Chain A
Amino acid sequence: MNRLALSDEILLKIDKPARYIGNEINSVKKDLKDVNIRFCMCFPDVYEIGMSHLGIQILYHMFNQIEDVYCERVYSPWPDLDQIMRERHIPLFALETQDPVKEFDFLGITIQYEMCYTNILQVLDLSQIPLLAKDRTWDDPVVIGGGPCTYNPEPLADFFDIFYIGEGETVYGALLDVYRDAKAKGLSREEFLLKAANIPGLYVPAFYDVRYHEDGTIASFGPNRPGVPSVVHKEIMMDLDKACYPLKPVVPFVKATQDRVTLEILRGCIRGCRFCQAGMIYRPLRERSVESLKTYAVEMLKNTGYEEINLSSLSSSDHRELKELVTFLMDQWNGQGVNISLPSLRIDAFSLDVMSKVQDVRKSSLTFAPEAGSQRMRDVINKGLTEEVILNGAWEAFLGGWTKVKLYFMLGLPGETEEDIREIARLSEKVAKKYYELPKEQRNGKCQVTASSSFFVPKPFTPFQWVSMNTKSEFLGKARIVNEEMKAQLNRKSLRYNWHEADLTILEGVFARGDRKLCRGLLRAYELGCMFDSWSEYLDNDKWMQAFSECGIDIDFYTSRERDPKEILPWDFIDAGVTKEFLLREYERSKQAVVTPNCRSACAGCGARCYQGGVCFEN
């Protein structure tokens, strides 16, 4: 057996010790004698969440295909182990070799949501790596961040050596070459970073300076030395069939949140919902071919033994060969206990037919995401889902035997009126009413319509990146109105309503559109003990407020302040494909409640055509 970093005494004391022992099926073992570069890949949250993430599996697989590179994994130790490691000064270790992370050449951290930022500091701290990039030497790994949050990396600028902006499949090879070369020539860390900064997609924050106006907005942003690009272009993998795919994903012992094969069928989205960052930054839409997908599905199920396959994408129905793929999967594994899950699917006759074959209709629920209650508001956010489509979908579902429907909404959308949000309850009521239009003998007891609302957080690279976000009391006031309206409905006994926590949303709002000045506040919050903020039982809002006030951070500056279109935004130096002109155009159209057709209907000229492929060149 491999040596474990933690003693039996510790492992038997903590919850789910199998999180920390490695040795999982399909984890990679290499002889360190043959390895020149050690890369530690981190998802800064608990193991079960991190192990569910496809991106890490892709990169793990990609790095380990390179002969002299050994990629290992690390996740955030849960607070029980965190405390023991601090008390006993046990350095954080990678799962495969159980060696300290500090001994690695690279520490790559995927940054999927804002509320993991304190966990990033936890990982660095437990690894005994200096938290601030400026304090690191060649004795420390090069700390590199990737993932959606790097589309505004500024609130994390002080803690990372490099940010990788865009899709990970493209330029890591070039970075490793630069690293090998730097080591061979004995270059300084700074010289190495300077070379890295010239690789497309890589952003080295230390080489850029920000100056501020007196009001806190940015006066100027740019390179602080020659030879550093002023614009960082996102990286994108245009031909997904040529991208590497993890056909042997690591299968954990502990049950992961996603305990199934994940098959990414397409990347990007044609819909252009104006609140959705993913729908903008992953443009243009690119499909994997159905042939590749069939092969992947067969291989991955065989290599993992999973009993479920999840077809993942931002909008599955937009894959032009989805029917062929799903029919293939159902034929292939009919009766052999393979379940197919299809999230983000449009509810129509086809999807209901598929779902009725793979799930227990009586137990499962159908999910719609109207996002807004009124048609006017749905036009504002460019959510091309009409009431008619929702009610027809629900009707079909009720006919098919379903009795549970979930509806997802957002509160705090720009320009929202009280009337708009009351429509959330009224739409829920209309769905419930549909059910009771069924003849009594066709009904299966009562129906249950559950409406959930989250609070809207404006994100960079969306048409709403300039708008004012609601305050906590506005959010909660709105939730109360919806709740009250729900109770006023005729079928109120069939309606449920729940809403998200507001404190977390506000913090998310601060960091989503934050700047470098937040680094201090983040560090202070971590010093005060903030960690696992996305876990409601660990979120300590008072400590955050204390940290912000000690560091002179004004929350409203980041959240409720409406930005002028001429203002320099912290993320303006990134070219994400969609142009500022397009985003502004969309912002203006939203104010008129004018919808913009999806990419397949008509090109909106967003700018992503520059990548010379995908949906922009389908015909």
Chain B
Amino acid sequence: MKFVGHLDMMRYFQKAIRRAGIDIAYSAGYSPHQIMSFASPLGVGLTSDGEYLDIEVNSSKTSEESIAALNREMAEGVEVVSYRKLPEDAKNAMSVVAAADYRISFSEEVAIPSLEQLTERFMMQKEILITKKTKKSEGVVDLKPMIYGLRAKNDTLFMRLATGSAANCKPIHVLEAMAEMKGQEETREAAAALEKLVVRTPYAICIHRLQIYGNTGSGDAPVFTALEDLGEEIV
């Protein structure tokens, strides 16, 4: 599903939900649409183990039955692993998203020397300024407060990044910023290798989303709770 875009994925689920006979609610009006919200769009080229969408239903079978019904309608490469009931007053998935975990690996033929060291140095910086271009403007953004965690292990990077409407940081932005660390002796080689990847062969970078979280704490003291844990099994 790596090559299916977000909008196509939404359409895919709208149809799958109809095929599976989920009693989804429709909006009123001339062109009624399913009441459905995706937590966070996944770009083309990314893979994931932790995607969420929430829907409003008129009635529901049990979690187990619904998962089975949905999985009978899935294409190879997509699996529904959980189906849970959210509290009546829950906000939609899109608006509760606060963070996401990613695993970044590199194609077999690519090796980045001393990736751990680069990661450590990178996180020791007080601020990580990047220029972010949008359609309308260009601005300098500090990535540091949006990186909740970053570590390297066996040529693989794991990161937890701010996600959602309030603050949003993409893994590629972190990689681009890491590739800027060419100034210091210890990190020069690794940063250069990373830069080559980002610029020349971005397809060799495998970005995999692991989990999406909501914040059940406060703004200053966030507590990241996997979206799944915000709901309960229907039995």
Most interface-central of A16, A303, A307, A339 (chain B CB within 10 A): A307
**A34 interface contact, C-beta 8 A:** no
B12 at the interface (CB under 8 A from A): yes
Indicate if the CB atoms of A305 and B15 lie closer than 8 Å.
Answer: yes
Q: Is the CB of B203 within 8 A of A2?
A: no
Q: How far is the CA of A21 from the CA of B44 in the complex (A)?
A: 13
CA–CA, A21 and B75, complex, Å: 12
B121 is an interface residue with CB less than 8 A from chain A:
no
The 6 A-B residue pairs with the shortest CB-CB distance, nearest first, are A305-B15, A305-B18, A360-B30, A17-B3, A305-B19, A9-B203
B3 contacts which chain A residues (CB < 8 A)?
Answer: 11-12, 17-18, 21
Q: Provided the pairs A305-B17, A337-B32 are in contact, do residues A12 and B202 lie with their beta carbons within 8 angstroms?
A: yes
Residues of A bordering B, CB below 8 Å: 1-2, 7-9, 11-13, 16-18, 21, 23-25, 251, 253-255, 259, 301-307, 335-337, 339, 359-360, 363
What residues of chain B lie closer than 8 Å to A21, measured between beta carbons? Answer: 3-4
A303 B19 Cβ-Cβ under 8 A? yes
In the docked arrangement, what's the CA distance between A336 and B27, Å?
10
Q: B8–A18 contact, CB under 8 A? A: yes
Chain A residues, CB < 8 A from B50: none
Q: Is B11 located at the chain interface by the 8 A CB criterion? A: yes
User: Are A335 and B32 in contact, with the CB atoms below 8 A?
Assistant: yes
Find out whether the CB atom of B19 lies under 8 angstroms from the CB atom of A304. yes
Q: Which one of B5, B19, B201 contacts A18 once the chains associate, using CB atoms below 8 Å?
A: B5
B48 to chain A, nearest CB (A): 14
Nearest B residue to A359 via CB reads B30
Please measure, in the bound complex, the distance between the C-alpha atom of A305 and the C-alpha atom of B17, giving whole angstroms. 7
Q: Besides the contacts A16-B5, A18-B8, A303-B19, what 13 more A-B pairs have beta carbons closer than 8 Å? A: A2-B76, A7-B203, A8-B203, A9-B203, A11-B3, A12-B203, A23-B77, A25-B19, A253-B11, A307-B14, A336-B26, A337-B33, A360-B30
Q: Do the beta carbons of A254 and B15 come within 8 Å of each other?
A: no
The winner among B8, B73, B201 for most chain A CB atoms within 10 A is B8
B31 located at the interface, meaning its Cβ lies under 8 Å from any Cβ of chain A in the complex = yes
Q: Identify the closest chain B residue to A27 (Cβ).
A: B75
User: Which residues from B are CB-within-8-Å of A17?
Assistant: 3, 44
| Minimal Cβ-Cβ distance residue in A for B11 | A255
A604 CB to nearest chain B CB (Å): 43
Choice from A8, A25, A360 contacting B15 with Cβ under 8 Å: A25
Cα distance A301–B19 when bound, in Å? 8
> Would you give the 0/1 interface string for B71-100, flagging 1 where the beta carbon is closer than 8 Å to chain A?
001011100000000000000000000000
B17 nearest CB neighbor, chain A only: A305
CA A360 to CA B16, docked complex, whole Å = 26
Q: Is the CB of A18 within 8 A of B4?
A: yes
**Which of chain A's residues have a CB closer than 8 A to the CB of B75?**
23-25, 253
Query: Is the C-beta of B45 less than 8 angstroms from some C-beta in chain A?
Result: yes
Across the interface, name the chain A residue whose C-beta is closest to B3: A17
Check if A305 sits within 8 Å of B45, measured CB to CB: no
Out of B12, B14, B203, B204, which one reaches A253, CB within 8 Å? B12
User: Do the beta carbons of A251 and B5 come within 8 Å of each other?
Assistant: no
Q: What's the nearest-Cβ distance from chain A to residue B66, in Å?
A: 15
Q: What distance in Å separates the Cβ of A570 from its nearest Cβ neighbour in chain B?
A: 44
Contact A1 B76 (CB under 8 A): yes
A-B contact count (CB 8 A): 80
Contacts A337-B32, A360-B31; is A304 near B15 (CB within 8 Å)? yes
Q: In the complex, A339→B29 CA distance in Å?
A: 12
Find chain A residues with CB under 8 A from B44 CB: 12, 17
Cβ 8 A contact of B8, one of A254, A304, A307: A254
Give A23 to B77 CA distance when docked, in angstroms. 9
Task: Give the CA-CA distance A11 to B1 in the complex, in Å.
Answer: 12
Q: Chain A: which residue is nearest B201 at the CB level?
A: A9
Note all chain B residues with C-beta closer than 8 A to A25: 12, 15-16, 19, 73, 75
**Residues of the B chain whose Cβ atoms lie less than 8 Å from the Cβ of A7:** 203
Q: Which residues of B contact A255 (CB under 8 A)?
A: 7-8, 11
The 27 sampled A-B contact pairs (Cβ below 8 Å) are: A2-B76, A7-B203, A8-B203, A11-B3, A12-B44, A12-B45, A12-B202, A12-B203, A13-B203, A17-B3, A17-B44, A21-B3, A25-B12, A25-B75, A253-B4, A255-B7, A255-B11, A301-B18, A303-B19, A304-B19, A305-B14, A305-B16, A305-B17, A337-B26, A337-B33, A337-B34, A363-B30
**CB-nearest residue of chain B to A303:** B19
Name the B residues within 8 Å of A363 (CB-CB): 30
A23 / chain B contacts, CB cutoff of 8 Å: 75-77
Tell me the complex Cα distance, A509–B204, Å.
Answer: 49
CB A15 to nearest CB in B, in angstroms, measures: 10
Residues of chain A with a CB closer than 8 A to B26's CB: 335-337
- Within the complex, the shortest CB–CB distance from B73 to chain A, in Å, comes to 7
Interface residues of B in 101-160 (CB under 8 A from A): none
Q: Are B19 and A302 in contact (CB under 8 A)?
A: yes
**Chain B residues in 8 Å Cβ range of A13:** 203
Query: How many Å from the CB of B179 to the closest CB on chain A?
Result: 19
B196 vs chain A, min Cβ distance (A): 15
A339 touches B31 (CB 8 A): yes
Find chain A residues with CB under 8 A from B8 CB.
Answer: 18, 253-255
**Nearest opposing residue in chain B for A9, CB measure:** B203
A381 to B203, CA, bound (A): 58
Q: How far is the CA of A8 from the CA of B44 in the complex (A)?
A: 11
What per-residue 1/0 map shows which CB atoms of B197-210 lie under 8 Å from chain A? 00001111000000
Give A533 to B44 CA distance when docked, in angstroms: 29
Q: Which residue of A lies closest to B77 (CB)?
A: A1
Q: Give the docked Cα–Cα distance between A24 and B17 (Å).
A: 16
Across the two chains, which residue of chain B brings its CB closest to A17? B3
- Nearest-neighbour CB distance to chain A for B22, whole angstroms, equals 10
**Contact: A251 with B4, CB < 8 Å?**
no
Closest chain-A Cβ to B32's Cβ sits at a distance in Å of 4
Most-contacted residue by chain B among A302, A305, A360 (CB, 10 A): A305
Which residue on chain A has the smallest CB distance to residue B206?
Answer: A8
The CA of A23 and the CA of B44, in the complex, are separated in Å by: 16
Q: A1, A9, A18, A335 — which one has the most chain B CB atoms within 10 A of its CB?
A: A18
8 Å CB interface, B216-231 against A: none
Q: Would you give the shortest CB distance from A444 to chain B, in whole angstroms? A: 15
Contacts of B77 in A (CB 8 A): 1, 23
Closest Cβ–Cβ distance, residue A553 to chain B (whole Å): 42
Write out the residue numbers on chain A whose beta carbons fall within 8 Å of the beta carbon of B33: 337
Give the docked Cα–Cα distance between A306 and B19 (Å): 9
Interface centre among A253, A301, A303 (most CB of B within 10 A): A253
- Closest residue on chain A to residue B19 by CB atoms: A305
List residues of chain A with CB within 8 A of the CB of B9: 253
Contacting residues, chain B, for A9 (C-beta < 8 A) = 201, 203-204
Chain B residues with CB below 8 A from A339, complex form: 31
Is A251 in contact with B34, judged by CB distance below 8 angstroms? no
Task: From the candidates A24, A307, A359, name the one contacting B18 in the complex (CB within 8 A).
Answer: A307
A339–B15 alpha-carbon span in the complex (Å): 14
Q: Give B29's nearest chain A residue, CB to CB.
A: A360
In the complex, what distance in Å separates the CA atom of A8 from the CA atom of B73?
A: 26
- B7: A residues at CB distance < 8 A: 255
Cα distance, A406 to B22, chains bound together (Å)? 39
Compute how far the CA of A483 lies from the CA of B9 in the bound complex, rounded to whole angstroms: 45
Q: A234 to chain B: closest CB distance in Å? A: 37
Which chain A residue has the least Cβ–Cβ distance from B30?
A360
Residues of B within 8 A of A253 (CB): 4, 8-9, 11-12, 75
Q: How far is the CA of A363 from the CA of B31 in the complex (A)?
A: 11
Separation of A306 and B144 alpha carbons in the complex (Å): 45
What is the bound-complex CA distance between A484 and B198, given in angstroms? 57
